[in-house]
Amino acid sequence: MLPVASLFLITSAAPLQARVNFVRDVKPILEDNCVRCHGPDAAMRGIRLDKKERALLAVVKKKPDDSLLYNVAKIGSMPPGPKKLTPGELETLRKWIAEGARWPKGLELVGKNPFVSARNLSAELAAASARHAPFQSLRKPSQWRSDCL
């Protein structure tokens, strides 16, 4: 009887859902879509989302539908322009707020430039490092200038 009872408990238990991890799940959303305009350099409408103390002013913990941050994203007024948050990103924000909007102590966010892709950045870095003197190949002694010796 015991094996049958334990089998019943295992199969009837609701699937466990992982809690939202701020660094893994929420931070990229805010950095990619919000902090560029709501950060230290440009706190549009006085809203800053780069620091915990300021960002949580736009959040009502455990009440996403009462939170400014979630509502402006949900209705599509933020971020401005054609690129809006995906349904998955909206659900992540909603769930994060519903779980209490935990934010690691001392963590500050940095806004991302949407016009610089990783591919462009790596190409620029490669070109710059090719011109940088320590990365230049050494010359053979026959190529040395005699006036420099």
What's residue 146's pLDDT? Answer: 58
Q: How far apart are CA 42 and CA 149, in angstroms?
A: 54
Domain parsing of the chain, residue ranges = 17-104
Structure tokens at 144: 């040395």
What's residue 87's pLDDT? Answer: 97
22-31 exposure pattern, b = at least 16 Cβ within 10 A, e = fewer: beebbbebbb
What's residue 115's pLDDT? Answer: 63
What's residue 119's pLDDT? Answer: 57
What's residue 43's pLDDT? Answer: 85
What's residue 120's pLDDT? Answer: 60
- Nearest-Å Rg of the Cα atoms of the chain is 25
Q: How far apart are CA 30 and CA 116, in angstroms?
A: 17
Give the residue ranges of the chain where pLDDT is below 70: 1-16, 114-125, 127-149
A 10 A CB-CB count for 92 gives 19
